[in-house]
Structure 1
């Protein structure tokens, strides 16, 4: 009798396995292209001509709503990335994922938003401007002075002279006669407009 019961249990477990399905991820309701439109492009980033692709992962709840958004690969612009997640959380909707038994479960949906300027959109090129960093180095290779010359509207995220602290010793420079010489290192960054 035990052998028959064991065989029935074995056959029953085989039947369950045969009818079990693979887990299914969330399926977008409607078209994902409707989630973010051209009008959603942040105006400041558009004006600067900033483009990129925001890779994202959405945590989709068992009810099909977006519970969380994480940027998996940045567009290079924190503004574009934050905008993508905010709009996806507000607009994306899914048929929820299901486990192997068919039960609705939390699941992950991954994709990317491509931030592309519309065709014919004028890009605002920066006005001509310049920044010059001058570093005076003694013949012993010690930084003696660092100055910055810039046009009025040229902004930098930090002081360029931070890279060249006064008193720091570096390499000595050798003149044509083979002896150490004092030098001025000049680094120029410019935006200019040229006729062509």
Structure 2
């Protein structure tokens, strides 16, 4: 568990075994997270397939932020090397991430973008792996 604490401490926006560093801006015209991006992904989110295959990596992504602050699209800009981790990154962010929207010069909310990354690391004390679905070859 000490490893997890180090990650959370080293990355202010990190949570659990994930670090999520983003381009948070003080400019009022850019989209900005409403809460800590590191809280969007947690230990329970690690895909079972990736755990079984001992896959780790960094997934870099860009989110399209709608004028209401919701995420309207997620694009992996640099994959982790694991299709399961990359897919899970966008699946989670489309549901959990919320933003203060970008604004035009008059202050009207407009579409914006926000880029960041998620570092997927298997913890030393990873939970037991679920059995693979029937018919799946390990």
- With the length of structure 2 as denominator, give the TM-score of the two structures: 0.69
Q: Does the 8 Å CA contact 1:23/1:99 hold for their aligned counterparts?
A: no
SS state of the match for residue 70, structure 1?
strand
Question: Which among 95, 102, 118 is matched to residue 97 of structure 1?
Answer: 102
Q: Distance in 1 between matches of 2:77 and 2:113?
A: 12
CA displacement, residues 139-180 of structure 1 (integer Å, 9 cap, x when unaligned): xxxxxxxxxxxxxxxx9xxxxxxxxxxxxxxxxxxxxxxxxx
SS state of the match for residue 61, structure 2?
strand
For the pair 1:58 / 2:60, whether they are aligned, the reply is: no
Counterpart in 2 of 1:85?
A: 90
Q: Distance in 1 between matches of 2:124 and 2:34?
A: 28
Larger radius of gyration: 1
Q: Distance in 1 between matches of 2:53 and 2:74?
A: 26
Q: Distance in 2 between matches of 1:121 and 1:104?
A: 42
Unmatched 5+ stretches in structure 1: 1-21, 125-154, 156-196
**Number of positions where the alignment pairs a residue of Structure 1 with one of Structure 2:** 103
Question: Which among 30, 39, 47 is matched to residue 42 of structure 1?
Answer: 47
Counterpart in 2 of 1:29?
A: 34
Counterpart in 2 of 1:16?
A: none
Unmatched 5+ stretches in structure 2: 1-26, 130-137
Counterpart in 1 of 2:75?
A: 70
- Residue 23 of structure 1 deviates from its aligned partner by 6.1
Q: Does the 8 Å CA contact 2:49/2:84 hold for their aligned counterparts?
A: no
Q: Distance in 2 between matches of 1:23 and 1:105?
A: 12
**Displacement over 4 Å in runs of 4+:** none
Which has the bigger relative contact order, CA under 8 A and spacing at least 6? 2
Q: Distance in 1 between matches of 2:112 and 2:50?
A: 32
CA displacement, residues 68-87 of structure 1 (integer Å, 9 cap, x when unaligned): 00000000111111110010
Q: Does the 8 Å CA contact 1:23/1:100 hold for their aligned counterparts?
A: no
**How large is the RMSD of aligned CA atoms in angstroms?**
2.0
